[in-house]
Chain A
Amino acid sequence: EVQLVESGGGLIQPGGSLRLSCAASGFTVNSKYMTWVRQAPGKGLEWVSVISGSGDTYYADSVKGRFTISRDNSKNTLYLQMRSLRAEDTAVYYCASSTSGSFAYWGQGTLVTVSS
């Protein structure tokens, strides 16, 4: 059974850093496109970043240069390193895995709150 479990969210001050984790089971993270999607309170889904099976990475303009997506194949875990956090980064962050372009499996989300 495929399962994705996010962790690492919390309250962080503006300008701070945080690393989110997404532990996968039922498949290997390096076999699929893996993505991070966020949702600010009361807002829609916003794509953040994606890593391909071969390791290519892409970022939304709003996070480029501040966020880094990576994975640890030995731990079968996806990461999102977030730096220089801003109030507008406050959101629930979801990880999801792609099957032929669509995201069939999602984690439960982890809340990141950027506030002083």
Chain B
Amino acid sequence: YVLTQPPSESVAPGQTARITCGGNNIGRSKSVHWYQQKPGQAPVLVVYDDSDRPSGIPERFSGSNSGNTATLTISRVEAGDEADYYCQVWDGGSVLFGGGTKLTVL
């Protein structure tokens, strides 16, 4: 199973960023989790089980999963959202990460 993410996305402050994670029938077969990683820091879980948010994560972060694509949506983007974002699923006993998307806030 392979997860495909675009290497980069860019968005202006205040706009909406959408980061995709493609996989074969991912919407019907996988629960998708999303992580944010800033330089020199450990990853932080921002969305789990497709669309749930851990405590402390702003409501601006949301997720969806349908068909062959899962999407992390960041509304009202702020400069502090600039980071790498990774999707993650389980495939049997193995853990899979997408290649990561670098979000640039213009």
Count residues of chain B with CB under 8 A from any CB of chain A. 24
B45's partner among A44, A50, A60, A104 (CB-CB below 8 A) is A104
B43's partner among A45, A50, A56, A100 (CB-CB below 8 A) is A45
A26 contacts the other chain (CB 8 A) = no
Contact A103 B88 (CB under 8 A): yes
Contacts of B90 in A (CB 8 A): 101
Contact B100 A103 (CB under 8 A): no
Q: Which of B44, B86, B94 has the most CB of A within 10 A?
A: B94
Secondary structure call for the B interface: strand
Contact A104 B48 (CB under 8 A): yes
Contact B42 A94 (CB under 8 A): yes
Secondary structure call for the A interface: strand
Contacts of A58 in B (CB 8 A): 92-94
Contacts of A35 in B (CB 8 A): 95
Q: How far is the CB of A78 from chain B (nearest CB, A)?
A: 15
Q: How far is the CB of A48 from chain B (nearest CB, A)?
A: 9
B14 contacts the other chain (CB 8 A) = no
Interface residues of B (CB under 8 A from A): 31, 33, 35, 37, 42-45, 48-49, 54, 84, 86, 88, 90, 92-100
